[in-house]
Amino acid sequence: MKTWLITGCSSGIGAGIAKAVLAHGDNAVVTARRPETLSALTEGYPETSLAVKLDITRTEDIRSAVQAAKEKFGRIDVLVNNAGYGYRAAVEEGEADEVALLFQTNVFGPVELIKAVLPTMRAQKSGVILNVSSIAAARSGMGSGYYAGSKAALELITDGLMKEVAPLGIKAAIVEPGSFRTHFYDTSLKGSAVKIDDYNETSGKNRKENVVNLGNQPGDPEKAGRVLVEVVEGGTLPKRLLLGSDAVRVVRAETEDRLREIAEWEHISSKTDFAAGE
């Protein structure tokens, strides 16, 4: 039986992961800024679930959540950094304080949680860390530069982390979901108060007030949860796990475009090398 610590469980993919973990028979420490929203998840699992308050931007909450998990279950086997949100703005419209909060939530908070669980995992000589990113890290869009940047930062930190902890018996992986039927496009999406008219016909069309959540995204959060449990139980993790056929399509196309560009510009890129004998 494994013990999972999962952030952002009040809805969406986080809730889907929590449901799958508990149904599988594992322990789940489920977290949210308002733990009272988690009762539907923990009901029926009094012995294997624990609801904990966790605002990922607050160091004291991070420490308390990790301590509560260890006190209840004695160990932490799987950390899932899922909590996060989106932010829409042209790069020029980005508000410094709001962008800083975005990165604190999507990057620096998850990193602090990783640092908080690693001593336990190192002592166990085992553990799994799953950092939930987005296909935005592979391909940004107009108005999504800051959000995509935060997810790309989390991915490259994870890339370094997985190499550092592998010799210690700990695994880390990136999870890249496509579009899922969640609240990402409504309650989990923020936007800049700055509006520059020159962007009205480009990134302006993607501003928060112009986004309507139709609820027709292809991804099922509960299936995502079951897939992650299956992958963790399988023991072998990819470096990046795409979730959703749309994620596979988008990331494949972006990767192929990048390879074509490398080939097209290779003759220029190579001009910076020292010539033989220089």
Domains (range + CATH), the chain:
3-268 (3.40.50.720)
147 is catalytic: yes
194: closest CA among 265, 99, 129? 99
45 is catalytic: no
Mean pLDDT confidence for 175-181: 95
- CA separation for the pair 148, 152 (Å, rounded): 6
Q: Is the dihedral of CA 215, 17, 32, 123 positive or negative?
A: negative
The residue type of 256 is: E
Give the dihedral of Cα atoms 76, 78, 83, 86; nearest 10 deg. 150
- Which pair of structure tokens corresponds to residue 97? 């304080």
pLDDT digits (tens, 9 = 90+) for 201-211: 999 999 989 88
Exactly one of 45, 146, 147, 199 is catalytic; which is it? Answer: 147
271 is catalytic: no
Q: Describe the chain by its helix, strand, coil percentages, rounded to 5.
A: 55, 15, 30
208: closest CA among 102, 88, 36, 98? 88
Q: Other CB atoms closer than 10 Å to residue 162's CB: what's the count?
A: 18
CA 140-143-146 angle, to 5 degrees, is: 65
- Look at the chain and count its residues: 278
- CA separation for the pair 5, 94 (Å, rounded): 32
Exactly one of 151, 171, 192, 203 is catalytic; which is it? Answer: 151
pLDDT digits (tens, 9 = 90+) for 16-54: 999 999 999 999 999 999 999 999 999 999 999 999 999
pLDDT bin (cut points 50, 70, 90) of residue 175 is very high
Exactly one of 2, 10, 49, 133 is catalytic; which is it? Answer: 133
- CA separation for the pair 43, 36 (Å, rounded): 12
pLDDT confidence of residue 218: 87
- Which pair of structure tokens corresponds to residue 176? 């890249």
pLDDT digits (tens, 9 = 90+) for 212-263: 888 789 899 999 999 999 999 999 999 999 999 999 999 999 999 999 999 9
